[in-house]
């Protein structure tokens, strides 16, 4: 089946530790995105990438890092510099041509203890 | 900027009631418009879309019409079911990105 996978679904970490969230897609999409969702709020863009080995900061990039070594993969690292990392993280992908519709993964809920 | 404003929730309805969720967008350029739905604990699913003025997107009994004159894309469903309980997000395209509204939580009671 084509789609986007995120793992793990739930993740617990101690304060001060870096943690990496996985995102893989087999839709052959050029663009990939990471969003953060907090309770009762909309989605805020963290980072996005339109091509392998290139990525841009979104609205709330501080305390996060990404890499795009393969077209299919766009891992997100939540660093210890992120002041309030507990949130629901959503990965998405989409084509660069056409209407820019995005397809979302199931999300990872990160809890920092 | 390129922003989206949608009706605040939460919205609670009885089964078979009529649902409207208002959404307006900033009129920069000629964006595509989307409604996404999020069920508890899951990612977002595309519900419907429209790419130009007067287009009507529809899916699963939901409809929304791209109104350029009022910069609106209101979501409607004539008869909701308990299974429609979810969070609904309006979004507009923005240079290969999407700008989302804050989301509207809808609860349908049997």
**Strand ranges (E), B2-96:** 4-6, 11-14, 19-21, 23-25, 33-38, 44-50, 56-59, 62-65, 75-77, 86-94
CA distances from B45 to A15, A85, B68 (A): 32, 24, 25
For chain B, give the mean pLDDT.
Answer: 93
> Greater confidence, A97 or B55?
B55
Q: What is the mean pLDDT of each run of 10 residues along chain A (113 residues)?
A: 88 92 96 92 93 96 97 96 93 87 95 91
Q: What is the pLDDT of residue A98?
A: 76
Which of A8, A100, A103, A108 to mutate to test binding with chain B, by most B CBs within 10 Å of its CB? A100
Given a cut of 90, whether residue B7 has pLDDT beyond it is no
Distance from CA of A4 to the nearest CA of B (A): 10
3-state secondary structure of B26: coil
Query: Are B93 and A99 inside 8 Å of each other by CB?
Result: yes
Given a cut of 80, whether residue B1 has pLDDT beyond it is no
Q: What is the pLDDT of residue A2?
A: 67
Q: What is the pLDDT of residue A1?
A: 58
Q: What is the pLDDT of residue B2?
A: 64
> Greater confidence, A7 or B2?
A7
pLDDT (tens digit per residue) in B57-106:
999 999 999 999 999 999 999 999 999 999 999 999 988 899 999 999 99
- Residues in B closer than 8 angstroms to A31, CB to CB, are 96
Query: Are B32 and A101 inside 8 Å of each other by CB?
Result: yes
Q: What is the pLDDT of residue A73?
A: 98
CA distances from A22 to A31, A91, B5, B43, B106 (A): 16, 9, 31, 15, 30
Q: Identify whether the C-beta of residue B34 lies closer than 8 Å to the C-beta of residue B28.
A: no
């Amino acid at each position: 089946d084509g789609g986007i996978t995120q793992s793990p679904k739930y993740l617990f970490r101690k304060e001060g530790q870096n943690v990496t969230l996985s995102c893989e897609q087999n839709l052959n999409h050029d663009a990939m995105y990471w969003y953060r969702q907090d309770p009762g709020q909309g989605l805020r863009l963290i980072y996005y990438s339109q091509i392998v080995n290139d990525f841009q900061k979104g609205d709330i990039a501080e305390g996060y890092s990404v890499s795009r070594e393969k077209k299919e993969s766009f891992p997100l690292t939540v660093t210890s510099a992120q002041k309030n990392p507990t949130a629901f993280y959503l990965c998405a992908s989409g084509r660069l041509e056409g209407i820019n519709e995005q397809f979302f993964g199931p999300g990872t809920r990160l809890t920092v203890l | 900027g390129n922003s989206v404003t949608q009706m605040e929730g939460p919205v609670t309805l009885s089964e078979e009631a009529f649902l409207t969720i208002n959404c307006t967008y900033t009129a920069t350029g000629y964006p595509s418009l989307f409604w996404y739905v999020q069920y508890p604990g899951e990612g977002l699913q595309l519900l419907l879309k429209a790419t130009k003025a007067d287009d009507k997107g529809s899916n699963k009994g939901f409809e929304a019409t791209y109104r350029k004159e009022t910069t609106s894309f209101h979501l409607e469903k004539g008869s909701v079911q308990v299974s429609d309980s979810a969070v609904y997000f309006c979004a507009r395209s923005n240079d290969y990105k999407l700008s989302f509204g804050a989301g509207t939580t809808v609860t349908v009671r049997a």
